[in-house]
Chains A and B, each alone.
Chain A
């Protein structure tokens, strides 16, 4: 029979031409995955070509994004994407790891399972629902505090705002002014970071929980047997053992954060100006795609928006690759 040698050791009498047909059929369907990947690159590449040839690498370093003048530079939204994602990651990781430790190490079974469910449901909440909640619930809360800066009843705050507003008008800011609100709407970069933090928490948390559960029992017991407290077992035996897997989960959460679109688009304020206050309006690559692609009539504008998509595409491929590399490199080698 014409069975290739690399196939499973199927006895020759069982193989038939129908097997060959089935294999080809499955392979063809599975190859659609490759096709989707290549088509994506082709489509995004083709549509972003005008912008890329027109602006070259300056597209990524220029700050001006002005559809009226047909000048497009993505540096402010690249910065927006990186700032929102990294800050959200920084806040969420300790919380996520702590909740994973609670589920895996502290909670009794009757409590661990429901809490685990809740965290998984958190991951299932759609982006637009998070955005709606942020707009209708968190933004007004932030707004109530922000508005005190424009209220004569708080002269200190008003004076501070007035001072900062002067600086902002000159496109300048100071560390203190960076934390002074520039409007009372509640929306802006800070709200985007808050909602992004909530959204990526469950990803890190569930990866961390799985990894922590896989730490062998005798690693815990060895530390306990040396006279360690529970926290010492966690910090000296469990977390070091699980760190590669947790870091992998963190990187995957970063991938989510970089591409997270609607919740951010709904609250960040869609401004490409220089960031002068953490409460001010800003934009990310994904939020600009959502907010502007539909209205982009000019070829160059449209092409520039697609270029942001192409950038996000390669960024997520890169992040995925780095996550695997880290997991492979840092996983503790087998104990004999």
Chain B
């Protein structure tokens, strides 16, 4: 990185509550455009909770509340004037388990987001589908069966289909919640390889419980522990010379 890209996503003093339980405590983090950012930590540390705050998924969890600011391109997404539906369109998400829409074909899955906005033009849909599937490194495998049910694909293919589905609406941020935890090693490697390409078109925030994965794919890493963001830095630094002894203990495998 010769010149530093601008900050696209900035969390400022974010607290997240489930009822009275404070699951994320006063987290402030900046993510720069075109970077891959890993959130690591033992289970229950609040990393997924934090990730889901970035596209307001907590809106659907009864009792969940987010305090503080999350700025997307300088605009607080929790500002009352912000429409969460339009906001989510700018922030894509890939889930822990592959979750294609089971009643739709491969093609319809990819363009599901585009169809929401009323795009009906077949040629345009096809063009976007091809671009997104290529972006998810799935095109060659499914080009012959775009109209077959998405559930006919293997688990790894389904997860890349979900990545293509998220890419099709051109998100500025792509959230990935342990996207390879349900996959076999070969599929995991494919998706990890994909990251360096994906960051040319979007900014990735990835939650992972696999430290090696974080070390392999990310530019920055943030370490979470029981709701606190303990340390944030360039990935190499976090893994080779962490400043906090708790980070050191975790990355060296002494707990977690």
Interface residues of A (CB under 8 A from B): 108-109, 216, 218-229, 232, 236-237, 240-241, 243, 332-336
Contacts and interface: CB of A to CB of B under 8 A. Distances in A.
A225 B92 contact: yes
A332 B149 CA distance: 10
Contacts of B91: 225
Contact of B151 (A221, A232, A332): A332
Contacts of A236: 101, 112, 116
Contacts of A336: 98, 151, 154-155, 158, 182
Contacts of A228: 85, 88, 113, 116
Contacts of B151: 332-336
22 contacts: A218-B97, A218-B99, A222-B95, A222-B165, A224-B88, A226-B88, A226-B92, A227-B116, A227-B117, A228-B116, A236-B112, A240-B104, A241-B101, A241-B102, A241-B103, A243-B103, A333-B151, A335-B100, A336-B98, A336-B151, A336-B155, A336-B158
B166 interface: yes
A334 to B, nearest CB: 7
Contact of B101 (A108, A109, A232, A240): A240
Contacts, number: 89
A335 B98 contact: yes
Interface string B54-69: 0101001010000000
A223 B112 contact: yes
Given A219-B99, A226-B165, A227-B117, 17 more contacts: A218-B95, A218-B99, A219-B101, A221-B57, A221-B60, A222-B99, A223-B101, A225-B57, A225-B88, A225-B91, A225-B92, A225-B93, A227-B90, A236-B101, A237-B101, A241-B103, A336-B154
Nearest to B158: A336
Contact of B166 (A226, A241, A334): A226
A266 to B, nearest CB: 42
Contacts of B154: 336
Contacts of B92: 225-226
Contacts of B166: 225-226
Given A221-B57, A221-B93, A335-B158, A229 B101 contact: no
A229 B112 CA distance: 13
Interface in B86-133: 86, 88-93, 95-104, 112-113, 116-117
B103 A226 contact: no
Contacts of B88: 224-228
Q: Which 3 A-B pairs have the closest CB atoms?
A: A227-B89, A332-B102, A226-B113
A239 to B, nearest CB: 9
B162 interface: yes
Contacts of A224: 57, 60, 88
A226 B116 contact: yes
A216 B175 CA distance: 19
B72 interface: no
Interface in B136-189: 149, 151, 154-155, 158, 162, 165-166, 169, 175, 182
Contacts of B169: 226-227
Nearest to B159: A336
Nearest to B155: A336
B149 to A, nearest CB: 8
A11 B149 CA distance: 47
Contacts of A335: 97-100, 102, 151, 158
Specify which of A220, A224, A226 lies most central, judged by the most chain B CB atoms within 10 Å of its CB: A226
A300 to B, nearest CB: 52
Interface in B233-251: none
A237 B102 CA distance: 9
Contacts of B158: 335-336
